[in-house]
Amino acid sequence: MKNKIDIVVIGTIIKETIIFPDKQMGPVLGSPAAYSSLVMAAQGVKVGIVTYYGNDMEEIISEMDALDKRGILPYSHTTTNLLIYNEDGTKRVEYQKSTPTIKFEDIHKDYLEAKYYKICPMNYEVDLDLVSKLHSMDKVVFIDLGGFGGATSDIRHSIETEYGKKVIETLCNNSSIIKASEEDLASIIPGKTAEEAAEILISTGAPKVVVTLGGKGALYKIADNDPQYIKPFVATSENPDGSLDFTGAGDSFGAGFMASYMQEQDIRKAILNGNATASLVIQRSGGCTYDRMPSKERVQERLQQNNE
Ligand SMILES: Nc1ncnc2c1ncn2[C@@H]1O[C@H](COP(=O)(O)OP(=O)(O)O)[C@@H](O)[C@H]1O
Ligand SMILES: [Mg+2]
């Protein structure tokens, strides 16, 4: 079929300036949806994107040439914001203006033929009804909790609040895979270890949970089975100053995960692909650019390196 889409990414793309403790970068293309889309496209996946698109994105739109753009929704305001890294490596986002909520009706009708959906808002801007509708259509729905109370959320509603509880319950019961970072879970399910938080998400209704653990790799939990840990790959800086750039690590992991999961439906292999992808993305710097994203061949090569 013409212009067939393998996966639809849903969430706002933005223009961001990244502030590190010792330097500043940008403005560059950013957001979980932007990283997810470009990372999967670089691995040969046909990606459609549903996002609002700010009126000040012109000079960075060319980065998105590898994507299907039928699903883009014009937005007559800025989507510029700041991503600020703290000394301890945690992060927060300062928003100038929030984009409208993305609703089920906003999904381009051609995109509804796809089987896979990656839901990755920044700040709650994907409607919960959109998620339940896709789930009721038997779609495979992957949810990133970063923008549902995790690290990129402006106000982080934890499950101890009525709203936060409703959000997490709805997502757990209307998705195939829930992914979060340890940092996301510290806000969403306060005071618990990653393992305990994964357990809570499973008992809330999530069929499969994947938690990224930064330099410790990732863990996954399927139903009542014991959690399984998977180590990361060694990243070797390609930057002149020898630094690794962790911007987009978790999003690249999620995208590498899905690029594999769509092919084989094997969660362990998907995590290896996610870890390998993220390790390659953090070796380079420069925000969300197509050139930064590893090809399928580079990921394969890294996978063959011993990660034990
Ligand atoms: N120091 C590191 N070396 C190798 N891989 C890493 C390193 N830090 C992060 N990663 C990879 O990036 C993934 C996501 O990192 P994490 O910090 O958990 O997410 P986020 O970017 O959302 O904060 C990890 O699961 C791992 O695969
Ligand atoms: Mg992190």
What is the residue extent of each domain of the chain?
7-297
Measure the CA–CA gap between 17 and 25, rounded to whole angstroms.
6
Residue 307 has pLDDT above 70, yes or no: no
Alpha helices in the chain (DSSP H): 32-42, 128-136, 162-173, 182-188, 194-204, 249-264, 267-281, 296-304
**Residue pLDDT, tens place only, 117-142:** 999 999 999 999 999 999 999 999 99
Residue 143's closest CA among 178, 193, 100? 178
Residue 306 has pLDDT above 80, yes or no: no
| Candidate from 253, 281, 307 with most ligand 1 atoms within 8 A of CB, to mutate | 253
Mean pLDDT value of segment 16-23? 94
Q: How many angstroms does the Cα of residue 181 sit away from the middle of ligand 1?
A: 9
**Residue pLDDT, tens place only, 26-61:** 999 999 999 999 999 999 999 999 999 988 888 888
pLDDT bucket at 98, cuts 50 / 70 / 90: confident
What is each CA distance from 8 to 41, 216, 282, in whole angstroms? 11, 29, 24
| Candidate from 179, 181, 234, 283 with most ligand 1 atoms within 8 A of CB, to mutate | 181
Residue 161 has pLDDT above 80, yes or no: yes
Q: Please tell me whether residue 191 adopts helix, strand or coil conformation.
A: coil
Q: Whose CA is nearest to atom 14 of ligand 1?
A: 250
Nearest ligand 1 atom to alpha carbon 249: 21
Residue 116's closest CA among 135, 101, 144? 135
Mean pLDDT value of segment 254-264? 98
With beta carbons less than 8 A apart as the criterion, state whether 48 and 68 touch. Answer: yes
Res 59: pLDDT = 81
Q: In what order do the strands lie in the sheet with 14-19?
A: 24-30, 14-19, 80-85, 91-95
Helix 32-42 to helix 249-264 angle (10° resolution) is: 50
Q: How many angstroms does the Cα of residue 44 sit away from the middle of ligand 2?
A: 26
- DSSP bridge pairs for 144: 179
pLDDT bucket at 214, cuts 50 / 70 / 90: very high
Q: How many angstroms does the Cα of residue 48 sit away from the middle of ligand 1?
A: 25
CA atoms within 13 A on the CB side of 171: 30
Instruction: Express as a percent the part of the chain with pLDDT over 70.
Output: 98
Measure the CA–CA gap between 146 and 132, rounded to whole angstroms.
18
Ligand nearest to the CA of 152: 1
Q: How many angstroms does the Cα of residue 4 sit away from the middle of ligand 1?
A: 31
Cis peptide before 27 (omega within 30 of 0): yes
Mean pLDDT value of segment 151-158? 96
Mean pLDDT value of segment 255-269? 98
Residue 303 has pLDDT above 90, yes or no: yes
pLDDT bucket at 1, cuts 50 / 70 / 90: very low
Res 77: pLDDT = 86
Measure the CA–CA gap between 135 and 156, rounded to whole angstroms.
25
Residue 206's closest CA among 235, 168, 249? 168
With a Cβ cut-off of 6 Å, ligand 1 is lined by 181-183, 212-215, 217-218, 232-233, 235, 246, 249-250, 253, 275, 278-279, 282
pTM strictly above 0.85: yes
CATH code 3.40.1190.20 for 7-297: yes
**Sequence-distant (≥ 6) Cβ neighbours of residue 139 within 8 angstroms:** 114, 115, 116, 117
Mean model confidence pLDDT for the chain: 95
Res 117: pLDDT = 98
Q: How many angstroms does the Cα of residue 248 sit away from the middle of ligand 1?
A: 9
With beta carbons less than 8 A apart as the criterion, state whether 246 and 237 touch. Answer: no
Measure the CA–CA gap between 290 and 108, rounded to whole angstroms.
24
Res 3: pLDDT = 78
**Residue in the structure block whose two tokens are 């067939």:** 4
Nearest ligand 1 atom to alpha carbon 277: 27
Residue 295 has pLDDT above 60, yes or no: yes
pLDDT bucket at 64, cuts 50 / 70 / 90: very high
Ligand nearest to the CA of 35: 1
Pair of tokens at residue 77: 């305001």
Q: How many angstroms does the Cα of residue 89 sit away from the middle of ligand 2?
A: 7
- DSSP bridge pairs for 141: 117
